[in-house]
Amino acid sequence: MTDAAASVSHVRIRVDRALGHLTLDRPRAINALDLGMIHDLAAALDAWERDPGVDAVLLDGAGERGFCAGGDVRGLHDQIAGGDVAAAARFFRAEYALNARISSYPKPVIAVADGVTMGGGIGLAGHAAVRVVTERSRLAMPETRIGFTPDVGGSLLLARAPGRLGEYLALTGGTMDAADAIYAGFADHLVPADRLDDLREALVSRADPQTATELVLLFDETAGPSQLEADRPWIDDAFAADTVDGIVERLRRRPEPRARETAAELDALPPTALAVTLASVRAARQRPDLRSVLAREYGLVLWFAQTQPDLLEGIRARLVDKDGAPRWSPASRADLADDILDRAFGFEPHPALWSD
């Protein structure tokens, strides 16, 4: 392959024949996104849209551990703790613009979500035209575990999942394997990891058949049974309840051990994040347009960043001090303010945070 552009940050950008190839190249951090990487990805897409010599884009990650573990959460912690919410806002705006760009890109984007793919990684891969997973893939939107809420258009992907899987995956932050991801609508095809190089070569050489989807299908294998599909009866029953309290109550009444385990998991998670996330997924189901969903998510993430101590506390407990003992505020769902959803969804960030 020949380099078409030099990478300023941790993104390798090149063109081989008619294939533009973008590789997240920060493997020690499981390719976690920083603002420079987002800008580089966006600039490459802008250039290739106008380039008649590029007719498809491949997006993948370096290293064996995963495609992308998400955004740089520790960096977000430092920005908020340092009072620089504007820096966090710039990151989210650029990231969401990139998510929307991938979704509407006029040339097929083929994303390979091999290994860990979470949070911001879902925002990149989940909106691509052709979404590939492998037997090593582990996909999740685990934001509630740090006192946050799924973003990057994740609430829309969750809302589109069968039955009440969206509520389940959003609230618990549960991890999907390849079969689960395909069943839940987060991926399209399973390609074995040892065939990825062959897939890349086929995308470059463009032997018949011609389209990206047809080429991927040459390497597609049937995924095994999905545990999410098997768990649908108790998930659909419990997660159809109107509130988090109602969900937990239904889970406790179910005979399945996994249902009762899920109730205990929810009891340990931050009440504010759970309440807002449940409402966010259901709002996306009512208005399933990515750009409007991203705009709503932007308001919510800035509400968390500017007003909610749980976000800093969750990152501290899991990634900074790593004591695994977050102190949520409030600690109990019974102590949530009656107007918490009105405050979250009615939050209006300072006008300066909507644009550079």
Q: Could you tell me which residues come within 8 angstroms of residue 142 by beta carbon, excluding any fewer than 6 positions away? A: 118, 119, 173, 175
- The amino acid sitting at 152 is V
Per residue, the 3-state secondary structure of 34-62, as one string, reads CHHHHHHHHHHHHHHHCCCCCCEEEEEEC
Q: d(Cα 139, Cα 67) in Å, to the nearest integer?
A: 10
Predicted local confidence at residue 325, as pLDDT: 95
User: In the predicted model, is pLDDT for residue 9 greater than 90?
Assistant: no
Q: Phi and psi dihedrals of 110, rounded to 5?
A: -105, 115
**Ordered alpha helix ranges (H), the chain:** 35-49, 73-81, 85-104, 120-125, 154-159, 165-172, 178-184, 196-205, 212-217, 227-238, 244-253, 257-267, 271-286, 290-307, 309-315, 340-345
- The amino acid sitting at 245 is D
Helix or strand run (H / E) with residue 24: strand 19-24
Residue with tokens 């290739």: 48
Residue with tokens 């370096």: 62
Helix or strand run (H / E) with residue 117: strand 116-118
User: In the predicted model, is pLDDT for residue 1 greater than 90?
Assistant: no
pLDDT tens-digit readout, 170-213 = 999 999 999 999 999 999 999 999 999 999 999 998 755 578 88
Q: Could you tell me which residues come within 8 angstroms of residue 61 by beta carbon, excluding any fewer than 6 positions away? A: 23, 24, 25, 27, 30, 31, 67, 68, 112, 114, 115, 121
In order of their start, the domains of the chain are 2-354 (3.90.226.10)
Instruction: Provide the annotated active-site residues.
Output: 71, 120, 143, 151
**Stretch 27-47: mean pLDDT, rounded?**
97
Q: What is the DSSP string of 143-157?
A: GGGGT----TTHHHH
pLDDT tens-digit readout, 319-354 = 999 999 999 999 999 999 999 999 999 998 766 666
Find the Cα–Cα–Cα–Cα dihedral 237, 238, 239, 244, rounded to 10°. Answer: 150
**Stretch 259-285: mean pLDDT, rounded?**
98
- For CA atoms 325, 81, 145, 245, the dihedral sign is positive
Residue 316 near residue 326, CB atoms below 8 Å: yes
Residue 114 near residue 108, CB atoms below 8 Å: no
Q: Could you tell me which residues come within 8 angstroms of residue 247 by beta carbon, excluding any fewer than 6 positions away? A: 167, 171, 238, 239, 241, 266, 278
Show the tokens assigned to 181.
Answer: 């991801």
Give the distance from CA 68 to its chain's centroid.
Answer: 9
pLDDT tens-digit readout, 138-174 = 999 999 999 999 999 999 999 999 999 999 999 999 9
Residue 117 near residue 126, CB atoms below 8 Å: no
User: In the predicted model, is pLDDT for residue 308 greater than 90?
Assistant: yes
User: In the predicted model, is pLDDT for residue 5 greater than 90?
Assistant: no
Share of the chain above pLDDT 90, in %: 89
